[in-house]
Amino acid sequence: MHGRLAFPDVCRISNLPMIFNHPEYDAHEQILHVCDAEAGLRAIVAIHRSRDTIAAGGVRFRPYPTDDDALTDVLRLSRAMTYKNVLADLPLGGAKSVILGDPARDKNPALLRAFGRVLERLGGQYMCGPDIGTTADDMDVISEETPHVGATNQQMGSSGPPTALGVFHGVRALAAHLGYGTELRGLHVAIQGAGAVGSDLARHLVEAGARVTIADVDVQAVETVREQVNVAVVSPDEILSIEADILSPCALGGILDEHTIPSLEVRGICGGANNQLREESDAERLRARGIAIVPDFVASAGGVIAGTAAAGLYPQAEMPGKLEGIYDRALAILGQATADGATPHEVAHRMAARMLGES
């Protein structure tokens, strides 16, 4: 056994979770499982591609049914961050982290600071920002331990508004692709989710003359939007099957699948939620139904575009151009997909791989 590590027997149990064989592994550069028992922190940090610089991506805080659900989620999300950052022309790699727990119950300053210390020990390879279950206030707490955090209150505040503006540019591109022209007047958009992104998107669309129908499981969130913007409201079970021109998923991911796609009554999809397809093959399901989709990692880039500019990772003066660039990128991907008879996801993946030098 000379020169070799003697593994304890427990490491030979064949049903240990497999990282290298994990279906979503995709040659991640680094996956860190973190446990800080004292602070009650359990988290996974996944760095997909660092591109020899900094990998940026949000920190999601939510309870997962199983550890493998958490791992699967963070791997898929961090891979999507690489595509998102590359296609948004950001000089950054992609990463993501998940904190396992219920933010309403488990989130506290000691836990967030423990998470900040993990980032500090990573030495700047990874810069986090907010995601589902975390806010600018949480980024402030993390920043007490490390400078490798974006979208704090001092830097920017909520990443909702720039994300919503980016989705709006994506919706404009989709409308142009579908032949509605650049005028959104009369266009009917169904928005799933009245959170920070969905509510702000509703405002942009209504200002541009579009008609908006919105739904959220949070009745209060829907009421708040209705008080401020002229929108129609339907129940969360109805929003995925109402007749509209465009569907904009702005809540959780995984909502487009073999059950929901057959009942969609829209011509196109563009929203801010991450990982809207349950499986890669759902892109083909949409294509077969003639429904065009702006890949979520293109449409939802506004938050990271603004957040990383505010954090000083590239010149602030370039920020508005990159945000508006979502329009051109989305239009190019949709046009190429039509020309090739491919799905927009395939085209976008190919484009990103080329830009990463991986094809």
Dist CA 98 CA 89 (whole Å): 25
Please report whether residue 129 would count as binding ligand PHE according to CB under 6 A. Answer: yes
Please report whether residue 330 would count as binding ligand PHE according to CB under 6 A. Answer: no
Please report whether residue 57 would count as binding ligand PHE according to CB under 6 A. Answer: yes
Dist CA 73 CA 60 (whole Å): 10
Please report whether residue 166 would count as binding ligand PHE according to CB under 6 A. Answer: no
Please report whether residue 159 would count as binding ligand PHE according to CB under 6 A. Answer: yes
> Which amino acid, residue 171?
V
Please report whether residue 56 would count as binding ligand PHE according to CB under 6 A. Answer: yes
CB contact at 8 A, 251 and 198: yes
For ligand PHE, the closer of residues 61 and 327 by Cβ is 61
Please report whether residue 271 would count as binding ligand PHE according to CB under 6 A. Answer: no
For ligand PHE, the closer of residues 57 and 198 by Cβ is 57
Please report whether residue 94 would count as binding ligand PHE according to CB under 6 A. Answer: no
Please report whether residue 307 would count as binding ligand PHE according to CB under 6 A. Answer: yes
Please report whether residue 150 would count as binding ligand PHE according to CB under 6 A. Answer: yes
Dist CA 98 CA 31 (whole Å): 11
Q: What is the DSSP string of 145-190?
A: T-S-B---TTTTS-SHHHHHHHHHHHHHHHHHHTT--S--TT-EEE
For strand 55-62 and strand 126-130, is the pairing parallel, antiparallel, or unpaired? parallel
Stretch that binds ligand PHE, among 2-10, 16-24, 51-59, 140-148 (CB under 6 A): 51-59
Please report whether residue 116 would count as binding ligand PHE according to CB under 6 A. Answer: no
> Which amino acid, residue 89?
D
Q: Which of 74, 75, 86, 151 binds ligand PHE (CB under 6 A)?
A: 151
Dihedral over alpha carbons 163, 171, 355, 160 (to 10 degrees): 0
Stretch that binds ligand PHE, among 38-46, 124-132, 178-186, 196-204 (CB under 6 A): 124-132
- Which of helix, strand or coil describes residue 58? strand
Please report whether residue 133 would count as binding ligand PHE according to CB under 6 A. Answer: no
Dist CA 6 CA 131 (whole Å): 40
Number of residues that bind ligand PHE (CB under 6 A): 16
Please report whether residue 58 would count as binding ligand PHE according to CB under 6 A. Answer: yes
Lay out the site mask for ligand PHE across 225-264 (x = CB under 6 A, - = otherwise): ----------------------------------------
- Closest approach, Cβ 13 to ligand PHE, in A, equals 35
Residue 322 known to be catalytic: no
- CA 349-128-90 angle, 5° bins: 45
Alpha helices in 67-134 (DSSP H): 67-87, 103-106, 109-122
- Closest approach, Cβ 76 to ligand PHE, in A, equals 12
CB contact at 8 A, 119 and 145: yes
Where in the sequence numbering do the catalytic residues fall? 96
- What residue ranges bind ligand PHE (CB under 6 A)? 56-58, 84, 129-131, 150-151, 159, 274, 300, 303-304, 307-308
